Amino acid sequence: MNIWELVFSNIRRKPVTLRFPQKVPTPLKFRGLVKLDTSKCIGCGICAYVCPDKAIEITGNQNYYEWNYTPGRCTFCERCVNYCPVSALNLESDPAPAYNHKDELKQTHRMSYPVCPECGQPALPVSETLLMQSFSQITDEMRDWIHLCERCRRRRYQKILKSSYQRGNNSRGY
């Protein structure tokens, strides 16, 4: 008799599903697709390094780098968001749309490296936030150095070493 009681109680109840325009509310702290804020990204590659499923890949060229995200591989673990030093990544609060192929929702962002103010060559970007996390005190000279390409940084450092070496030899009477 229990089966009949269950059937009749289900018949008397109203439908539990929602009609088409209505949506089921998303729960708090829902982890959706990863989104990149290209204005903050410095192309460090930490997000790709910590991603256990290789859903994020960063490929570099001499003039630009590409940030690729494949949601079909992603487990939405949020590691990339937590480890990003400049907070360029976040997770959407809505579920992803339905898709048929794993690469259908793939995101690709191509970003150019900033130009070195001394030679005009592309320079790897360094964020002010990352600089503040790395050093306790930041001088104006350090802020100038982060905009230089690797070659110009080396040249400046060599000039400083050369001048300090010459000052050291002159004080000894050579």
pLDDT in tens, 101-157: 878 899 999 998 888 888 988 888 777 777 777 788 888 888 888 888 889 989 988
Give the separation between CA 153 and CA 150, rounded to whole angstroms.
5
Q: How confident is the model at residue 162 (pLDDT cuts 50, 70, 90)?
A: confident
Q: In this structure, are strands 64-69 and 107-112 parallel, antiparallel, or unpaired?
A: antiparallel
In the numeric block, the tokens 């339905």 are attached to 98
Instruction: Check the CA dihedral 72-57-37-28 and report its sign.
Output: positive
Distance CA 4, CA 38 (A): 60
Q: Which helix (H) or strand (E) holds 140?
A: helix 140-145
Domains contained in the chain, CATH given: 28-112 (3.30.70.3270), 114-174 (no CATH)
pLDDT at res. 34:
94
Rounded Cα distance between 152 and 148, Å, is 6
Torsion of CA 25, 30, 34, 35, to 10 degrees: 60
Q: How confident is the model at residue 172 (pLDDT cuts 50, 70, 90)?
A: low
Q: What is residue 57's predicted lDDT score, i.e. its pLDDT? A: 95
pTM, two decimal places: 0.69
Region for residue 115 given its phi and psi (left: phi exceeds 0; alpha: psi -120 to 50; beta: otherwise): beta
- pLDDT band at residue 168, thresholds of 50, 70 and 90? confident
96 in Cβ contact with 71 (< 8 Å): yes
